[in-house]
Structure 1
Amino acid sequence: MSSKSWFARWFRGKPEKAPQRPAAPTNPYHAVSVVPGTDACPAAYRFAGQRYLSRQAPRLPLPSCDVQNCNCRFKHHKDRRSGPRRHSDWGMVMAGYSGQERRHTRGRRSTDEY
């Protein structure tokens, strides 16, 4: 190796890194909702409060937006669901079945007692 090639490599510096794209959400249920900005168009208010999976969300500015400088934005959510869906999520206890057991045959497995 010649000293000239070593010298050229030394002063060339580190190669610049290519700009990285933002990482795609790892959560497949990541959702967004539209937050209308100041002086928002009527379309923004129609979409407000509705959650969309990130891949299916409408683009901003909305196609029917007629505002010169749209400042609507997305609010990010970890899930498309917005609240508790089951009684147990609300702290309610579900009543068990209180009727008479009608199964008299044994199950399919050898370990089943019935």
Structure 2
Amino acid sequence: MGLLLLLFVVIAAVAAAYLWHRQKPVVTAEAPPPSNRFHAVAIHAHANACPEVRTLSSSKFLAKEAPRLPLENCTAPYCQCRYDHYDDRRTEEDRRQASDMVRHQGEQKRVRKNRRKAHA
């Protein structure tokens, strides 16, 4: 009887250890508070990343709008994805032309003062 009870306890312990090890760990990674208004993050997909995170890995997000890791539908046994950080979400240089940024430096031709008050 004692041997049977011991065997049952050992089997139960092995089953519990297996289920505990197999359980998907809950690792929550949040984007850090932004250091500037345009602080951005991109998801760096790990080699065992789920298909959903792979579709998002080519996009940059404002840090406040980034999805939390692991994603809700993550199918990886252990999510190892992480955030890559950027100062700005934009990747290209400033597209404005120099002529767009030059202010008029000629003679002021507006004669009337408070010209907007007349239409109020």
Q: TM-score range by the shorter chain?
A: 0.5 to 0.7
Name the one with the larger helix percent. Answer: 2
Cα RMSD of the aligned pairs, angstroms, is 2.9
Counterpart pick for 1:86 among 95, 98, 105: 95
Unaligned runs of 5+ in 1: 1-22, 95-104, 109-114
Q: How many residues align?
A: 77
- With the length of structure 1 as denominator, give the TM-score of the two structures: 0.54
1:91-110 equivalences under 5 Å are none
1:43 equivalent to 2:52? Answer yes
In structure 2, the CA distance between the partners of 1:39 and 1:107, relative to structure 1 (3 Å rule), is: farther
Which of structure 1's runs of 4+ aligned residues deviate more than 6 A? 105-108
Unaligned runs of 5+ in 2: 1-31, 100-109, 114-120
Q: Residues 26-81 of structure 1: CA distance to partner in whole angstroms, max 9, x if unpaired? A: 30110000110121110111101201000000000011111110100100000010
Identity within the alignment, %: 33
| 2:77 equivalent in structure 1 | 68
1:52 equivalent to 2:55? Answer no
